[in-house]
Each structure stands twice: as structure tokens, then as C-alpha cells.
């Protein structure tokens, strides 16, 4: 069982109301891989420069993460994202995006990476996403993430890629931007009409909404008193969600629901500290504990006959 991710490996500079971090490790593929590695083998496809040292690569070590698809460009600099959040931590403001080695990135998959069970096309150019999909034998599940930038600048390329995937992870503002519909359920149905069977809508502190042809499933975010830095929450969610799905034999509704909870649990750890600090400290028992707490959070039982 394995999951393949293509996405960014980055340095992030972040400002939140609670502090600042300069050039800390980030990137969609980084967060995704660490989260997914709690459940399954991960194959990472991405690019770094010389400045991403062996020491930085320690985040991946001791975990089942295969870096054979992580290309290093000699003399190049690693992708660098700068962002800030106000008190509304659901809204990230991009201050600068230095693509560096990411600008000429053309993912080429090693031979050993061409038969993943699950494929995650993290937020990159939709044409590159399609190029990766063309290099693998059809996986059991293909999922895609995207962002407002691609919806605004490359909508038709993005829609072409969306037609070929099984599942899309997208935040609520992006559903509205992509579909022109203010209502999330109707927006999700419009995306389903394009091709994907499942739409997973990320709503920050309000949780996640999953919509398929037959099912609507909604969970709140884990109720933390202190959210420190939301960077990477979406990709960490995707890692827990798809890592679990790669590890189970079928993708029926019971496993899909559990996957949503596990994604939410992993994301709740990510947001407690900058970068991957907190994610690197936890183990399976921490995940299982919050999973049980989620059950209590959302359990309310049946009404007694005649009650009320
Ligand atoms: P999120 O899960 O949406 O918070 O993703 C945050 C991560 O996405 C950060 O660690 C950034 O390095 C990375 N990122 C931000 N902008 C881009 C972009 N345009 N392309 C690829 N990765 C990005």
C-alpha cells in the first residue's frame, strides 16, 4: 500500500498574531508526507535547491517516506513562500512567492513510483498535475488540491485536470470561485458534474464537509484553545485522509468517514506550532486519543420515544 505525492518542498516565512518564523521547513508535499507516513508508505516527488541541506531532510528520516523522486538542482534555491495571518486564522495573505527551482520543475517519476495505490496531486500548475497522472498506472484513487491562483489564471487547464480525478480537496472560498455558486452543497454538485466522485471542502476552524453523489458528511475542527499557525493544515489533513485510505482495502462510506476524522486529527496537531514542530513529536497513540475525542464531540444518540 502506498501513496504518491507531487508538490512543494519549501522554506516558509510566516507571521501570525502570536509570533514569527523565518525560513522554516514547509511545502505541501512535506506536510502531506509526514502526515501520511503514520498510515502507509509514501513516495515524494518534488524539487529542492542546495540550501535544503541533509539536516533539513531529517524531517523525513525514520519514516516510511521514499525520497527517490526528490530532485536536487545544483546551484538552485528552494521554493520560498512568505505569508501572514491576522486574527482570522482562516485567511492566509501571501506576501511573497519565490518559485526559485520550482519555476522549471517538470516532475519525472522514477520507475519504482509508477504504481501507487493512491495519488495526491498537491497544489501545483494543473498541467503538471495532469503530466504526473499520465506517468502512473491508474491508481485506486486520484486526488487533487488547488488554490485561488490557478482558478483565477488557468481555469480551463484546471477544469481539464479536475475531469480526470476521483476526488478534489478544496477550501470553501475556492468552491465559490471555481463554480460561481455561493452555496457549498450546490457548488460541490457542480464539481461532481465535471467528473470527480467526491468533493472534500476544507473550512478551517469550522471543519470539513464531504459531498458525494449519495453522501454528505460534516465534522467540526478539533476544538483547540490555542491555534498557533494554520500553515500546512490543508496538506496535513490531506496526508492523514489519503494516507489512511491507502492503507484500507476499500473506499466505502465507513472508511471515507474515518479518513475525514483522521485528517482532521492530524491537522489539529499541525496548527499547534510553527512548521512541522508538533507533527514530528506525536505518535500513533496521540492520533488514536484525539480520534476517540472526536467521537465524543459529535456523538448525540437517538431521541427517546416521546421525548421533548
Ligand atoms: P496549506 O496547507 O494550504 O496551508 O499549505 C501551506 C504550504 O503550501 C506552505 O508550506 C507553502 O510552502 C506551500 N505553498 C504556498 N504557496 C504555494 C504555491 N503557489 N505552490 C506550491 N506550494 C505553495
In tens digits, the chain (308 residues) has pLDDT values of 899 999 999 999 999 999 999 999 999 999 999 999 999 999 999 999 999 999 999 999 999 999 999 999 999 999 999 999 988 888 889 999 999 999 999 999 999 999 999 999 999 999 999 999 999 999 999 999 999 999 999 999 999 999 999 999 999 999 999 999 999 999 999 999 999 999 999 999 899 999 999 999 999 999 999 899 999 999 999 999 999 999 999 999 999 999 999 999 999 999 999 999 999 999 999 999 999 999 999 999 999 888 77
Alpha carbon of 180 to ligand 1 centroid (Å): 24
Output the pLDDT for position 304. 87
* pTM for the full predicted model: 0.97
Q: Output Rg (C-alpha) for the chain, integer angstroms.
A: 19
| Nearest Cα residue to atom 3 of ligand 1 | 234
Question: For ligand 1, is residue 187 a contact (CB within 6 Å)?
Answer: no
Residue 180, C-alpha cell as written in the block: 460561481
Nearest atom within ligand 1 for CA of residue 79: 12
Contact (Cβ atoms closer than 8 angstroms) between residue 123 and residue 146:
yes
Alpha carbon of 298 to ligand 1 centroid (Å): 30
Buried-exposed string 12-29: b where 16+ CB fall within 10 A, e elsewhere: bbbbbeeeebeebbbbbb
Strand 208-212 and strand 198-202: pairing?
A: antiparallel
Alpha carbon of 279 to ligand 1 centroid (Å): 17
Output the pLDDT for position 307. 74
Question: For ligand 1, is residue 263 a contact (CB within 6 Å)?
Answer: no
Output the pLDDT for position 131. 97
Rounded to 5 degrees, what angle do the CA atoms 115, 121, 125 make? 130
Question: For ligand 1, is residue 233 a contact (CB within 6 Å)?
Answer: yes
Question: For ligand 1, is residue 9 a contact (CB within 6 Å)?
Answer: no
Rounded to 5 degrees, what angle do the CA atoms 99, 75, 235 make? 35
Nearest atom within ligand 1 for CA of residue 233: 2
Output the pLDDT for position 92. 87
Question: For ligand 1, is residue 260 a contact (CB within 6 Å)?
Answer: no
Nearest atom within ligand 1 for CA of residue 81: 12
Beta bridge partners of 200: 169, 210
Alpha carbon distance, N-terminus to C-terminus of the chain: 49
Q: Which of 97, 101, 123 to probe ligand 1 with, by most ligand atoms within 8 A of CB?
A: 123
Question: For ligand 1, is residue 267 a contact (CB within 6 Å)?
Answer: no
| Nearest Cα residue to atom 5 of ligand 1 | 232
Amino acid at each position: 500500500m502506498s501513496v504518491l505525492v507531487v508538490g512543494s518542498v519549501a522554506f516558509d516565512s510566516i507571521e501570525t498574531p502570536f509570533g514569527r518564523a523565518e525560513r522554516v521547513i514547509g511545502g505541501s508535499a512535506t506536510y502531506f508526507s509526514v502526515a501520511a507516513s503514520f498510515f502507509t508508505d509514501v513516495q515524494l516527488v518534488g524539487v529542492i535547491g542546495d540550501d535544503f541541506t541533509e539536516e533539513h531532510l531529517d524531517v523525513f528520516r525514520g519514516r516510511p517516506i521514499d525520497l527517490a523522486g526528490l530532485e536536487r538542482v545544483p546551484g538552485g534555491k528552494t521554493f520560498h513562500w512568505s505569508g501572514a495571518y491576522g486574527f482570522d486564522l482562516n485567511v492566509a495573505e501571501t506576501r511573497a512567492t519565490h518559485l526559485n527551482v520550482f519555476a522549471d520543475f517538470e516532475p519525472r517519476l522514477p520507475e519504482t513510483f509508477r504504481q501507487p495505490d493512491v495519488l495526491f496531486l498537491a497544489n501545483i500548475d494543473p498541467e503538471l498535475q495532469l503530466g504526473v497522472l499520465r506517468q502512473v498506472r491508474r491508481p485506486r484513487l486520484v486526488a487533487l488540491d488547488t488554490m485561488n491562483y490557478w482558478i483565477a489564471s488557468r481555469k480551463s487547464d484546471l477544469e481539464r485536470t479536475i475531469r480526470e480525478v476521483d476526488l478534489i480537496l478544496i477550501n470553501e472560498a475556492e468552491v465559490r470561485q471555481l463554480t460561481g455558486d455561493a452555496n457549498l452543497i450546490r457548488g460541490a454538485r457542480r464539481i461532481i458534474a465535471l467528473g470527480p466522485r467526491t468533493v472534500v471542502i476544507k473550512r478551517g476552524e469550522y471543519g470539513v464537509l464531504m459531498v458525494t453523489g449519495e453522501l454528505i458528511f460534516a465534522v467540526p475542527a478539533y476544538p483547540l484553545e490555542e491555534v498557533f499557525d494554520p500553515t500546512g493544515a490543508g496538506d496535513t489533513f490531506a496526508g492523514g485522509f489519503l494516507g489512511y485510505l491507502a492503507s484500507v482495502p476499500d473506499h466505502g462510506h465507513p472508511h471515507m468517514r474515518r479518513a475525514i476524522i483522521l485528517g482532521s486529527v492530524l491537522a489539529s496537531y499541525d496548527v499547534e506550532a510553527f512548521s512541522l514542530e508538533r507533527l514530528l513529536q506525536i505518535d500513533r497513540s496521540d492520533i488514536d486519543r484525539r480520534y476517540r475525542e472526536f467521537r465524543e464531540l459529535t456523538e448525540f444518540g437517538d431521541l427517546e420515544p416521546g421525548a421533548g
